[in-house]
Amino acid sequence: MPGPGGSLGVVLAHGFTGSLARPQLERVARALSSYAGVVAFDFRGHGLSTGRSTLGDKEVLDLDAVVGYARGLGYAEVVTCGWSMGGSVVLRHAALRGGVDAVVSVSAVSRWFYRDTAPMRRVHWAIETRLGRLVARHALRTRISAAGWDVPPEAPVDVVGRISPIPLLLVHGDADHYFPVEHPEALYAAAREPKELWLVEGFGHAESGATPELLARIGAHLPALVAQRAAV
- The confidence band for 1, taking pLDDT boundaries of 50, 70 and 90, is very low
3-state helix, strand and coil shares in percent for the chain, rounded to the nearest 5: 40, 15, 40
At 232, is the pLDDT very low, low, confident or very high (cuts 50, 70, 90)?
low
Tens of pLDDT, residue by residue over 102-136, are: 999 999 999 999 999 999 999 999 999 999 999 99
Answer whether residue 20 shows pLDDT above 60: yes
Contacts of residue 16, defined as CB under 8 A and 6 or more positions apart, other chains included, come to 53, 55, 84, 85, 123, 142
Q: Domain locations in the chain?
A: 8-113+150-231
pLDDT digits (tens, 9 = 90+) for 28-46: 999 999 999 999 999 999 9
Task: Give whole-number Cα distances, 103 to 142, 212, 223, in Å.
Answer: 25, 20, 12
Residues with Cβ < 8 Å from 59, sequence gap 6 or more?
A: 13, 43, 44, 53, 85, 86, 89
Taking residues 141-147, what's their average pLDDT?
A: 93
Question: What average pLDDT does the segment 49-57 reach?
Answer: 96
Range 8-113+150-231 has CATH code 3.40.930.10: no
What band does 6 get if pLDDT is binned at 50, 70 and 90?
A: confident
